[in-house]
């Protein structure tokens, strides 16, 4: 774990931020590359990706600020801590979705084909982004005695995200990073096999991500909201997995 990459006077560069930026850039690069190979204007895909990234970042932090308004306005230090906070997923999702729909209409790009172009890059970027979580100590796992357990020791992580120190934990960040890599490999290996139709790669990504996230959540130990016996992410997965199966079936029928 190495939450702070380096400091120079008042400037602190966090490893999570660097790897998150790398994740976005890798995903965007792959989407543009795939668009060019598919005969789609790469510049339009680049514009779309940049706007979606900006919207996701602003939306996630904006909703976090609204939800935790009293906390972030309690002092100058807490306000600036918003810059190194990950944000609220739903804020980013809503902002990115609205921006994506607008940009697709503006540039006249096909919906499902565009999703297919982005899906493998999202999986690869997810793999890199979760390494940032490992470095920061966030999204940590439950206590365990498995041989591959990891133990965090950096006080900065404990102060920033409440990471338990000196205790063996499931390396859930690595579980999710490996899941992202596996999903990427499956998408690339199956894309040109069997019956091809627009939306297949995107919804296969949603299906695989939903299943993997549901399973890995059982090993998470951080506070992330619970709905009964399931975490918020598991509830979302319960919705997304059957939806993705239905969409794969429907789109496949539409391509017949």
Determine the Cα angle at 127 with ends 81 and 138, to 5°: 35
3-state secondary structure of 46: helix
> Encoding tokens for residue 62?
């904006």
Are the C-beta atoms of 169 and 221 separated by less than 8 Å? Answer: yes
Are the C-beta atoms of 201 and 120 separated by less than 8 Å? Answer: yes
What percent of the chain stands above pLDDT 70?
Answer: 89
Q: Which residues pair with 57 in a beta bridge?
A: none
The confidence band for 58, taking pLDDT boundaries of 50, 70 and 90, is: confident
User: Of 158, 164, 161, nearest to 143 (Cα)?
Assistant: 164
pLDDT of residue 87: 58
12-35 residue pLDDT tens: 788 888 898 898 899 889 989 998
Give the Cα separation of 244 and 41 in Å (integer): 27
128-148 residue pLDDT tens: 988 988 998 888 999 999 999
pTM: 0.85
């Amino acid at each position: 774990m190495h939450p702070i990459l380096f400091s120079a006077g008042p400037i602190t560069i966090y490893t999570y931020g660097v790897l998150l930026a790398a994740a976005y850039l890798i995903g965007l690069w792959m989407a543009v590359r795939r668009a060019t190979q598919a005969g789609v204007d790469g510049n339009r895909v680049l514009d779309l990706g940049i706007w979606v990234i900006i919207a996701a970042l602003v939306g996630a932090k904006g909703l976090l600020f609204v939800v935790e308004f009293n906390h972030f306005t309690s002092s100058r230090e807490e306000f600036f801590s918003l810059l190194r906070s990950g944000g609220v997923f739903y804020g980013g999702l809503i902002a990115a979705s609205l921006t994506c729909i607008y940009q697709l209409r503006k540039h006249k790009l096909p919906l499902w084909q565009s999703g297919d172009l982005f899906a493998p890059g999202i999986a690869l970027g997810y793999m890199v982004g979760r390494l940032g979580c490992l470095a920061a100590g966030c999204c940590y796992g439950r206590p365990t005695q498995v041989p591959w357990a990891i133990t965090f020791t950096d006080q900065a992580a404990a102060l920033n995200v409440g990471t338990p120190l000196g205790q063996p934990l499931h390396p859930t960040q690595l579980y999710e990073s490996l899941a992202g890599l596996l999903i990427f490999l499956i998408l690339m290996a199956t894309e040109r096999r069997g019956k091809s139709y627009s939306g297949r790669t995107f919804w296969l990504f949603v299906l695989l991500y939903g299943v993997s996230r549901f399973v890995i959540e059982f090993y998470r130990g951080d506070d992330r909201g619970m709905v009964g016996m399931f975490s918020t992410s598991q509830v979302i997965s319960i919705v997304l997995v059957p939806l993705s199966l239905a969409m794969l079936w429907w789109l496949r029928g539409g391509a017949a």
